Chain A
Amino acid sequence: MDYSKNKRFNSPSGRIAIIAVFTAFAIVLSVIESILPTAALLPVPGFKIGLANIVTVFAIVTMRPSETFFIITVRCLVAGLFTGPVSLLFSLTGALLAFFVMLALLPAAGKAVSPVGLSIAGAGAHNIGQTVVAAFLLKDIGIMLFYLPFLLVSSVFTGAITGIVAIPVIDIINRKVLPGKGKL
């Protein structure tokens, strides 16, 4: 993966700008998601479509790991201001676990897995992470065994949706928004 051939976004200030844009993008998607009545779709606590995951998948494929880590952490902290400390704990743990799983799969990206697979694995990891936090908060393991299957099956669908959206987003941004040699 080669991220830094584009001259416009190779300077420190250029990269700060691009990181800020994607962080803002992720925050907006998080806030939109918190407004959506997803509980009516599947009445399981912790169920989300994971719109902000589109930015994470995009960032992990095209940007440096440290930059992706920054985008995820800031997105969770700022979105947490809107949703409260309990939701912050869930989303931060889930998102960071998803980040590490996707990072581990990154060498296989393009060969064995596409962004869809990355996204599904990330969604599954996110749900495992947040269910572990729920089990800790409620001090009960049974809750994990009860809700996790629903969340894992749902993560196949939500992960696929966000992954399918991420493919053209990655493509368009690399070809049109940021023209130049190599990737972002």
Chain B
Amino acid sequence: MLHIAVLDDHPVARHGLKSMLAALPDCDVAVSVASLDEARAALGDDPRIGLLVADLYLDGGRPSISAISEFAERLPVLVMSASARRADVIGAIRAGAAGYLTKSSSPELFRSAVMTVAAGGFFLAAELADLLQAELAASAATIEAVPRLSDREEETLSYIARGFTHAQIATRMHVRKSTIDTYVERIRTKLQVGNKADLTRAALRRADAAEPRPDTQ
């Protein structure tokens, strides 16, 4: 049985998440909280929790990137936010989130993400892959320390952004599906190594200059 904690400051959103998670086999929403303090307390009290589904904007105008970083050291974190801003997505992944979904994601995508992240994997949605490819290219142009993806990793990222499943990509690239899983893990690792603070700041600067602030939830 997978015990899940839900962190969202909107009661209706928490209720929706609970409903969707309840439909998954062997899942139980053990904790449903609205604030970071409540989440810290609940996670401390209940060591069985195996997954945190967290909103990024909690009762304020700034994303809770540092909190994601704090929680990600203890358990897998799946971020679910209304924001699709590149800075938020990249910031959350670099802070250690194992997946990022926007609130417009389909229930099937959500279930798939929960199962992947709960199993210790990195859930790379097509939308996220598109953002990552853009970010890595932009970072590589401005920051020398950015690790470069290999050709095969770049190819994998591109196929994911086009909407292919790992199994379909494996067929197209004539490798096993486990190899694609490995490429995805390597992409995640490369994204999170190096001077994270510098990379995140650079991403935030670029994104802030290019995009308006989103509505927060």
A associates with B: no
